[in-house]
């Protein structure tokens, strides 16, 4: 049940056809896991908190550095040296005190990932490396939790939504590890991709629109062009081949 205060705060989105009070209540009940509090992990939870998602858990093990501030917009000069999760959660709580925001300072590993996502309805990929993304993809498939992929590099970004057992997953389209390290990026790129991820999350929770499934969206900021590529479920995928549609949600 929405309070009078919530009805007023979310009035403009409740007006959207297909959202309504029912959709807003779904957002209020939703629990979203955000893996990473960097560039993407600054943008996605900001818009989810503003939209009234009930519980947001942010996990990251880094501390804020000066060189983060061109893109990680939840962290400010005064936060340098602080844990990123603390800095992020403080801002998100100030943005919307009606939302429960949890900070977990841990590195996501094969050992702890299942426990970290336990009880959450959706997983947002805001990581900065592919091996961690594969871990998230795998646990999302195993636990039957929708997974919202995003990645950035320079002025380019990608996004895809994965519904376990139904759609192509990250491992269906990606071959393996890639050499990574310090990558170039400008803040507007995670801004665009993080907003796409947040849009997908909101649509999934409310149950409206057409999700970015079986479609990899590539954003080219320099040409200001969005290109969509079809992604197919790989019948031999090492993460999702054994998972059938309609599996029981844990």
Contacts with other proteins by CB under 8 A lie at 36, 38-41, 125-130, 133, 150-153, 156-158, 168, 172-180, 183, 185, 190, 216, 218, 220, 222, 227-232, 234, 236
- In whole angstroms, the minimum distance from the beta carbon of 231 to other proteins comes to 5
The residue (of 197 and 199) whose beta carbon lies closer to other proteins is 197
Tokens linked to 135:
């871990």
Tokens of 56: 């947001």
210 φ, ψ to 5°? Answer: -115, 125
In angstroms, give the least distance from the CB of 140 to other proteins: 16
Q: Cβ of residue 240: shortest distance to other proteins, in angstroms? A: 14
CB of 223 to other proteins, least distance (A): 8
Report, in Å, the least distance between residue 18 CB and other proteins: 29
Residues 6+ apart with CB under 8 A from 221: 154, 155, 156, 157, 186, 188, 189, 192
Alpha-carbon distance 31 to 99, whole Å?
Answer: 10
Indicate the residue among 24 and 197 with the shorter CB distance to other proteins. Answer: 197
What is the C-alpha to C-alpha distance for residues 79 and 68, in angstroms, rounded to an integer? 11
CB-wise, 98 or 233, nearer to other proteins? Answer: 233
* Cβ-based nearer residue to other proteins, 19 or 127: 127
Helix, strand, coil share of the chain (percent; to 5)? 35, 20, 45
Q: Which long-range contacts (CB under 8 A, 24 or more apart) does 19-23 make?
A: 19/206, 19/208, 23/205, 23/206, 23/207, 23/208
C-beta of 80 vs 241, nearer to other proteins? 241
């Amino acid at each position: 049940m929405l309070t009078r205060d919530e009805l007023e705060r979310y009035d403009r989105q409740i007006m959207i056809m297909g959202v309504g009070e029912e959709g807003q209540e779904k957002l209020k009940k939703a629990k979203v896991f955000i893996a990473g509090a960097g560039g993407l992990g600054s943008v996605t939870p900001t818009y989810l908190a503003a939209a009234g998602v009930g519980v947001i858990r942010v996990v990251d093990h880094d501390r804020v550095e000066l060189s983060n501030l061109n893109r990680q917009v939840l962290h400010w000069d005064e936060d340098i040296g602080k844990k990123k999760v603390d800095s992020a959660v403080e801002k998100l709580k100030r943005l919307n005190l009606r939302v429960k925001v949890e900070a977990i300072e841990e590195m996501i590993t094969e050992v702890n990932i299942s426990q970290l996502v336990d009880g959450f309805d959706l997983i947002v990929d805001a990581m900065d490396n592919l091996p961690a993304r594969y871990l998230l993809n795998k646990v999302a498939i195993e636990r039957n939790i929708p997974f919202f992929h995003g990645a950035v590099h320079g002025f380019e970004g990608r996004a895809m939504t994965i519904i376990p057992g139904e759609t192509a997953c990250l491992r269906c389209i990606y071959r393996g590890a890639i050499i990574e390290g310090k990558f170039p990026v400008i803040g507007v790129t995670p801004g665009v991709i993080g907003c796409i991820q947040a849009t997908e999350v909101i649509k999934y929770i409310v149950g409206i629109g057409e999700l970015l499934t079986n479609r990899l969206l590539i954003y080219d900021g320099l040409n200001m062009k969005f290109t969509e590529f079809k992604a197919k479920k790989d019948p031999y995928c090492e993460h999702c081949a054994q998972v059938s549609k309609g599996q029981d949600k844990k």
